[in-house]
Amino acid sequence: MKALLLAAAAVTMSGQALELAGGGGQTRLFNSGLGKLSASSPRKDDYGLKGAFRMVFRMTTNSGDHFGHEFGYAYNRTQLVQFVDTGSTGTGMATHQGFYNYLAYATREGSKVRPFAAGGFHFNNYVPPGQSATQGGGTTKFGVNYGGGIKFRLAENWMFRVDARQYINPKPNWLINPGGWIRMNEVSASVAFVL
C-alpha cells in the first residue's frame, strides 16, 4: 500500500504545477471610435483608438489533465487618433490590461503539443496622453474575452506558446456618444518557464 501511495505521489509531483510566460505581439482594435467633441460635430467620431504592439505576462496553473487557470497582465501601446478633414493624426498612449482565463486543453498534461481554448474576463485601463495610471489616470472598463492558442514543449522546463484572443468591453466615455463596445484582438507569442 505504501509503495502505491509513493508511486501516486511521484506521478502527481511530476505533473506541471506552474507556467510563467512573457512575450509580445500585436493588438488591433475594432469599433474603436470614441465619439464627438460636441453634439454639432459633423463627424460620427472626432477621436478613436488604434492598436499597436503588446507586451504580455502570463501565469498558468493546470488543475487536471485537460483544464487550467491563467492570470495575466498586458501593456498595450495604443494611439489616440484625432480625425480631421485632411485625414488623421495620432498620439501614443497606454492601455493596461489584467485578465483571467479558464483553459480547456485538447491533449493531456505532459503532451509535447497542447492546443487550448480560453475564455474569461478582464479589465482595460485606458490612459490618455499626458496622464499616468500610477497617478490614478485613465478610465477602467470591464469585459469578457475568448480565444485559444497552442503550447509547444521545447525542453523539460521550457515551452513556447502562441495566443489569439478577442477582448470585448464598453468604450471609455471621454466624449459625447461613445456608443457600443470596443473589440481588441491579440496575436502574441511567448516563452514560458515551467516549474
Query: Mind listing the pLDDT tens digit for each residue in 155-187?
Result: 989 999 999 999 999 998 888 777 789 999 999
Residue with cell 487618433: 81
Identify the pLDDT of residue 14. Answer: 45
pTM for this predicted structure: 0.84
Please name the amino acid found at residue 163.
Answer: D
The radius of gyration of the chain's CA atoms, rounded to the nearest angstrom, is 21
Average of pLDDT values for 110-133?
90
Question: Above 80 in pLDDT, residue 63?
Answer: yes
Where is 81: in which H helix or E strand?
strand 67-84
Contact 58, 74 (CB under 8 A): no
Q: What is the DSSP string of 107-164?
A: S-TT-SEEEEEEEEEEEEEEE-TT--GGGT-SEEEEEEEEEEEEEEEEETTEEEEEEE
List, in sequence order, the alpha helices (H) in the chain. Answer: 2-14
Q: How far apart are CA 128 and CA 47, in angstroms?
A: 12
Count of CB atoms situated within 10 Å of the CB of 64: 10
Predicted pLDDT of residue 1? 43
> For residue range 5-18, what is the model confidence (pLDDT) as tens digits?
343 344 344 455 79
> Looking at the domain 18-194, which fold is it?
Porin (2.40.160)
**Among 94, 144, 96, which residue's Cα sits nearest to residue 122?**
144
